[in-house]
Chain A
Amino acid sequence: EVQLVESGGGLVQPGRSMKLSCAASGFTFSNYGMAWVRQAPTKGLEWVATISYDGSSTYYRDSVKGRFTISRDNAKSTLYLQMNSLRSEDTATYYCTRVSSGSSGYYFDYWGQGVMVTVSS
């Protein structure tokens, strides 16, 4: 069974940093791209960042470029999101997702339960 378990969220002041982790199990982690998707309170879903299966390629939405870094440790089956210079608009539940690999393109097939990040003074 695929499991994605996020950790590391909480309350942080504007301008400070926070690092999220996502522990994966139930599949061969090193074979899949991974991504972070967030959801502000009462709002819709918003893609944040994606990393390729081997970490060689990363992609970010414009609003987080230069502030967020996605990374992975395939030996530990763990995905990370380092978030610097946090802003109030980064307040959201952050979901760790697996990126499907197949002929149907690259979409998000499995999701973690999410971790809340609140940016406030």
Chain B
Amino acid sequence: DIQMTQSPPSLSASLGDKVTITCQASQNINKYIAWYQQKPGKAPRLLIRYTSTLESGTPSRFSGSGSGRDYSFSISNVESEDIASYYCLQYDNLPWTFGGGTKLELK
């Protein structure tokens, strides 16, 4: 199974900050990574697929990059509505595996 090591587990930011979350795969995942946002008590919402393609409705302050084993997800100009947990997902190989998650909080 491909392991996805996501960091940091938690992140504290002020409104307007830029934050970055990383996911490192245990092997090359050929850019097949997606990023999800989950607010408390809600289902995850897909934000980005294939490393950097924003889903319809995803604000442009969200971005993704990377290749090989190393990927990152950024939010520029953090807004209050961005306070949530974020997860990466690799879908290059079965079984699908998620990162451990990053909880974004307001400083």
- Give A residues with C-beta under 8 Å from B: 35, 44-47, 50, 59, 61-62, 95, 100, 104-114
Contacts and interface: CB of A to CB of B under 8 A. Distances in A.
Which 5 A-B pairs have CB atoms at the shortest separation, nearest pair first? A111-B43, A47-B96, A104-B50, A45-B98, A107-B91
Interface of chain B, main secondary structure: loop
Interface residues of B, number: 25
Given A106-B91, A107-B49, A107-B91, A47 B98 contact: yes
Given A47-B96, A95-B43, 7 more contacts: A44-B101, A45-B44, A47-B98, A50-B96, A107-B46, A109-B46, A113-B42
Contacts of B91: 105-107
B96 to A, nearest CB: 4
Contacts of B46: 107-110
Interface string B60-90: 0000000000000000000000000001010
A13 B72 CA distance: 42
Contacts of A46: 98
Given A44-B87, A47-B95, A61-B95, A111 B45 contact: yes
Contacts of B42: 113
B50 A112 contact: no
